[in-house]
Structure 1
Amino acid sequence: MAKDKIVLAYSGGLDTSIILKWLKETYDAEIITFTADIGQADELDGLEEKALATGASKVYIDDLRAEFAEDFIYPMFQAGALYEGQYLLGTSIARPLIAKRMVEIARAEGAIAIAHGATGKGNDQVRFELNAAALAPEIQVIAPWRLEKFREDFPGRAEMIAYAESHGIPVTASAAKPYSTDRNLLHISYESGVLEDPDFDASAESNKDMFVLSVSPEDAPDQPEMLELQFEKGNCIALNGQSMTPLEVMEKLNELGGKHGIGRVDMVENRFVGMKSRGVYETPGGTILFTAHRKMESLTMDREVMSLRDSLITRYANLVYNGFWFAPERLALQALVTESQKNITGTVKVKLYKGNIIAAGLSSPVSLYNPDIATMEADPTNAYDQGDAAGFIQLNALRLKVNAGVQQAAAQAKQGV
């Protein structure tokens, strides 16, 4: 009889390498591995051979970089999404794309389940499974880290490393370098191991080899570099006058941002499952794009539209972080965001210098900034009468005066007692 099939989200790292072999033995099933090429670069080298040698019956390695940039990164940046004021959601935004393709493969292959290597303490388990549930509620999900037998076999990474060594499975993790990484087109994240101590200084000179996408600001060039980004309806469509696809924009901005030490974040964040965790992130290109997009909005977005969109940033970021990309509320928010971006067209000039992104000019054919109205000199348009401000202030001050009067009366009555 044909064996059941399980589709495993496979990175070739420590966890999924062990899980591949463990799933095959435990479930007596065919394991089909799926790897999304979303910008891991040379991390994908030799992955197919490794998966087959470890026991996979079939291997999918799909180039999803263009889709990732156009359909996930760009819409999220239009929303101004920033988690807890620092994190540009590099790992979070990749998970719905991976889940989407996984369920497509599972259906095509007739698999009974999908599986992932996310731990029972992390956010990724939630993201994979909520996004999968929104797309394919009929497909079972296997999460080995939540299974007692798996945890008995592998209490921690040390046991997994030993297992890999004894079974001839090559992995990049080691007892000497135990932190884990996750790389894609938008960022690289680092966590666990020595980074679990929030007092550990990841920016120290002795740890500079940890970083991949960027140099430290101290080592960045001593000369600044000018960069011009052209936007159309909220999307960056050209750099320095050269038209580019979203994928090409992200690749070029990563190169420039990394060169100038831009986009490093070291933070303690709140995981959806309830605990705090420490993460170190490199997001060079994304940081430039995010900053430039916001500057373009400052010139071209209506004040009240911006206020409404900004009031939803935390909600939107939480939806992405917590795994609700395909939820109806995120889709509804995206419709509002798309509407808000219709006027976000023009050019942003910035200067890149030692970790900084410095404003160097804005222009737009649909700019809402009118120098004739904003000028401190005589207004040739007569659009604004300074005397009108008196009534404006009086009306806005009314409630403040009423409230102050009530407070003063209460204080006087208390003193009289």
Structure 2
Amino acid sequence: MEKKINKVVLAYSGGLDTSVILKWLAETYDCEVIAFAADIGQGEELDPIDEKARKTGASVVYIDDLKEEFVRDYVFPAFRANAIYEGQYLLGTSLARPLIARRQMEIAHEQNAEAVSHGATGKGNDQVRFELSYYAIDPSIRVVAPWREWDLNSRTALMAFAEKHGIAVTSTKEKPYSTDRNLLHISYEGGILEDPWNPPPEDMFVLTVSPHDAPDKAEIMDITFENGDPVAIDGQNLSPARLLAELNRRGGQNGIGRADIVENRFVGMKSRGVYETPGGTILRAAHMAMESITMDREVMHLRDSLIPKYAEMIYNGFWFAPERELLQTMIDETQKNVSGLVRLELYKGNCRVLGRKSAHSLYSEDFATFEDDTVYHQKDAEGFIRLNSLRLRIRKLMEKQGA
């Protein structure tokens, strides 16, 4: 028989699901509920959190500012790898979950709580991301996942429960989809977006203007990199969180970073998601440009061959797994000379590289020039080509002999 839960720490957003969960936990388990909200860039969404959680029954409310840690220790490591899932998704939600879970577990230990809880559904990826992180930190923790236990299996049932218990929630008619926001992105799923033929409504977007409505004049931007991380915009040094926020602002006003994706969830089903990632889109383009002149070819190709697997690890929730940490060590080793300046043009949804320079550049005009040079003898290419074509020539000769 499982031991009684006296205290549970809930990852709390203040939305419909976690508001209902807070009350449900207190009633179902007759326990103290501690609400925890991580400030990772949700903005004004956090304003009513403390009051709302206490009114719903939370005994203690934590609202921790984790923005700098999120960008420095989770976003930047992934972007040093140019991580992208299925060619389009820049992992905004995936990168936030292990940080939230880590802090949630710290609070559980501080408060001597026996359990932690989250609002992820039994169909999604987040349940896996949260719980793999919990168990990697403390295998003895008890996890309560209400969506896998209760009979409130619809938005209508949740709204009825909220009304019965006097829980104030925003009407889902105003937002017929679910959202998740942090400094890296905003995601939109469910509701009217479940039909992949339906275009997302224009009034849904928060971070970006439509490319059609973006300024008619291009904006030029310089980003400075040190060891693979961005450190300055237009010569102004900024902290990780402030830098990403500025990229979001400037990218958003130029209509950059929208993505409409049908992705493969870890649990096996396909899901349609719409994302706004303006700063991340700019950062990835700039970082790849910086690498193009500072990374050795074979090192780059080897690293690139591992990126789909690395991105999949993050997407599936294995941030704290040894294989992800091993790959991160290798990736970070490749970034030691990825330093310099990249110039970009932002214009109506497009981010175009205009130039790149570095004290560690491996690019040489003397080697690449079409003019006369003394470092490359063009006749040497003949032997190079004949050696590389040897197996092709032998294959064709054998075919002819067998004909």
The TM-score, its normalising length taken from structure 1, stands at 0.94
The answer to whether the 8 Å contact 1:268/1:279 transfers is: yes
Task: Select which of 305, 318, 321 maps to 2:315.
Answer: 321
173 and 389 in structure 1: CA distance in 2 versus 1, 3 angstrom threshold: farther
Distance 1:114 1:348 in 2: 44
Amino acid at match of 1:371: E
Give yes or no for the alignment of 1:275 onto 2:269.
Answer: yes
Task: Select which of 334, 351, 361 maps to 2:345.
Answer: 351
Give yes or no for the alignment of 1:85 onto 2:87.
Answer: yes
Partner of 2:368: 374
In the TM superposition, 1:244-283 aligns within 5 A as 244-283=238-277
1:12-58 CA-to-partner distances (Å, cap 9, x unmatched) read 01110000000000000000011100000000011000000000000
In the TM superposition, 1:87-126 aligns within 5 A as 87-126=89-128
Task: Select which of 178, 183, 186 maps to 2:184.
Answer: 186
The answer to whether the 8 Å contact 1:173/1:179 transfers is: no
Partner of 1:221: 215
Amino acid at match of 2:168: P
1:173 Cα deviation (Å)? 4.3
In the TM superposition, 1:16-415 aligns within 5 A as 16-147=18-149, 150=150, 152=151, 154-202=152-200, 207-379=201-373, 382-410=374-402, 412=403
1:388 Cα deviation (Å)? 1.0
1:212-259 CA-to-partner distances (Å, cap 9, x unmatched) read 111110011111100000001101010001011111110100000110
Distance 2:354 2:170 in 1: 42
The answer to whether the 8 Å contact 2:33/2:60 transfers is: yes
1:164 Cα deviation (Å)? 1.9
Q: Report the secondary structure of 1:59's partner residue.
A: strand
Distance 2:395 2:163 in 1: 72
Distance 2:298 2:276 in 1: 33
Q: Which moved more, 1:98-107 or 1:401-410?
A: 401-410
Q: Report the secondary structure of 2:256's partner residue.
A: coil
The answer to whether the 8 Å contact 2:147/2:153 transfers is: no
1:80 Cα deviation (Å)? 1.1
Distance 1:199 1:173 in 2: 25
Amino acid at match of 1:217: P
1:166 Cα deviation (Å)? 3.4
Amino acid at match of 2:60: K
1:3 Cα deviation (Å)? 7.1
Instruction: Give the unaligned 5+ runs of structure 1.
Output: 413-417
Q: Report the secondary structure of 2:298's partner residue.
A: helix
Distance 1:263 1:145 in 2: 32
- TM-align CA RMSD: 1.2
236 and 176 in structure 1: CA distance in 2 versus 1, 3 angstrom threshold: closer
The answer to whether the 8 Å contact 1:186/1:283 transfers is: yes
1:192 Cα deviation (Å)? 0.5
Distance 2:132 2:207 in 1: 30
Q: Report the secondary structure of 1:93's partner residue.
A: helix
Q: Report the secondary structure of 1:350's partner residue.
A: strand
1:266-315 CA-to-partner distances (Å, cap 9, x unmatched) read 01000000000000000001110011001100111110010011001100
1:135 Cα deviation (Å)? 1.1
What is the count of residue pairs matched by the alignment?
400
The answer to whether the 8 Å contact 1:158/1:175 transfers is: no
Q: Report the secondary structure of 2:107's partner residue.
A: helix
Amino acid at match of 1:407: E
Task: Select which of 12, 18, 30 maps to 2:14.
Answer: 12
The answer to whether the 8 Å contact 2:228/2:287 transfers is: yes
% identical equivalent positions: 61
